Amino acid sequence: MGKIAFVFSGQGAQYSGMGKALYDASPAAKAVFDMADSVRPGTSKQCFEGTAEELTQTVNTQPCVFAADLAAARALEEKGIHPDCVAGFSLGEIAALAFAGVLSDEEAFRLVCKRGELMDKAAKENPGAMAAVMKLSPEQVEAICAEFDKTYPVNYNSPAQTVVATTTDNADAFCAAVKEAGGKAKVLPVSGAFHSPFMADAAAGLAAYMENIAFAEPKITLYSNYTAKPYEGDYKELVRAQVENPVRWQSITENMRAQGVDTLIETGVGKTLQNLCKRTFDDIKPFKAETPEDIEKLITELKN
C-alpha cells in the first residue's frame, strides 16, 4: 500500500446535520465541537440544526465546515488512521493547518472565524459571482475569461472543471460564451467571488490578524492551495495569498500522487473532493469519512 492523504472539504459542501453522527460517536470529534463552542458559542447547533440559508452565509459556513472537517480527521486519528500528507480546499486548508500542527485547533478555529468575517465583508463591499465550467480545458476557460472584464479562473479542480469568479453583471454572458464554446456552465449559490482580486481587502485583513500568531513547522507534509506544493517559506503569506488567488487543486492531487499517495480520504463534509479525484485519476482510491459508518467501512477497506 502507498501513502494516505487526508483532504479537507471547503465551502459549498455544508448541510444541516453535518458532524452530528461523529459528535455522538467519537470523543475526539466531540472535543473539536466543544472547542468550537467555547470560542464561538452556537457553532455545534448551527452545524446540527442550522437552516440552509444560515449555513450558506460565509461568516457561518467557514467555522462550521472547519469544525466538521477537523472533527472527522480527529475521529480517524482516534481509530488509528494516520495520513502521510494533508491538504484542504480553500477554508479546508485552515483545518489542514491544525491537523498538521502548524496551529493549535483553537488558534486555527479563531483564524477561520476571522477569515469568514473578512471574506463576508469583502463579498458585500465587492459583489461578485462564481460559475463552475465543465467540459472545457483550463486553457479554454482562461481564453474565455480574457474576453470579459474582471473575470478570473479561481478553482482549477480537474482537467474538465474550472470555477470562475466574475461580476454579477457578467455572469450570464460568461455562461453563454461557455456554452457557445461547447462547454457547460452553472452559476454557483455562493455569496461572493472568492479566490480572486475581489477578495484583496480580506487578504490584507487576514495578514494583519496573523501578525502576532506563531506558526509552527508542519508535523506532516502539508500542501498549499497557492503553490500546490508542500508548505515552505513564509507560511503566513501562503495563508494570506490563497484568499485572493486560485486554488490549484488538480495540481495538488497530481503532486500527491507523484509522491506515492494512492489513498485519498475526504474528511468531513460532502464528497466533492472524492468525486474530483475519481474524475482525474484511476490509480488513487478515494474515500469519504463523514460518519462513523464511513470510518468503519474505511478501516475494513484499508485492511484488505
Residues 6+ apart with CB under 8 A from 72: 19, 22, 29, 267, 268, 289, 290
pLDDT-derived band at 12 (thresholds 50, 70, 90) equals confident
**How confident is the model over 256-267, as a mean pLDDT?**
96
> Is 90 known to be catalytic?
yes
**How confident is the model over 256-273, as a mean pLDDT?**
94
Instruction: Given the residues 9, 26, 195, 224, select the one marked as catalytic.
Output: 195
pTM of this prediction? Answer: 0.95
**How confident is the model over 63-86, as a mean pLDDT?**
97
Pairwise CA distance, residues 19 & 290, whole Å: 7
Residues 6+ apart with CB under 8 A from 281: 253, 257
Residue bearing cell 437552516: 51
Q: What is the pLDDT of residue 217?
A: 97
Tens digit of each residue's pLDDT (9 = 90 or more) over 93-149: 999 999 999 999 999 999 999 999 999 999 999 999 999 999 999 999 999 999 999
Q: Is the dihedral of CA 18, 64, 59, 187 positive or negative?
A: negative
* Whether residue 1 has pLDDT greater than 70: no
Domains, in order of start, for the chain: 3-125+196-303 (3.40.366.10), 129-187 (3.30.70.250)
Pairwise CA distance, residues 150 & 141, whole Å: 14
What's the mean per-residue pLDDT of the chain?
A: 95
Residues 6+ apart with CB under 8 A from 215: 102, 103, 235, 236
Instruction: Given the residues 90, 191, 196, 224, select the one marked as catalytic.
Output: 90
**Torsion angle defined by CA atoms of residues 213, 216, 218 and 223, in that order, rounded to the nearest 10 degrees:** 30
> Is 196 known to be catalytic?
no
**What angle, 0 to 180 degrees and rounded to 10, lies between the N-to-C axes of helices 249-258 and 272-280?**
60
**How confident is the model over 256-276, as a mean pLDDT?**
93
How many whole angstroms from its chain centre is CA 299? 24
**How confident is the model over 230-245, as a mean pLDDT?**
97
Phi, psi of 157, rounded to the nearest 5 degrees: -85, -40
Q: What is the pLDDT of residue 206?
A: 97
**How confident is the model over 5-26, as a mean pLDDT?**
94
Residue 61: strand, helix, or coil: helix
* Whether residue 160 has pLDDT greater than 70: yes
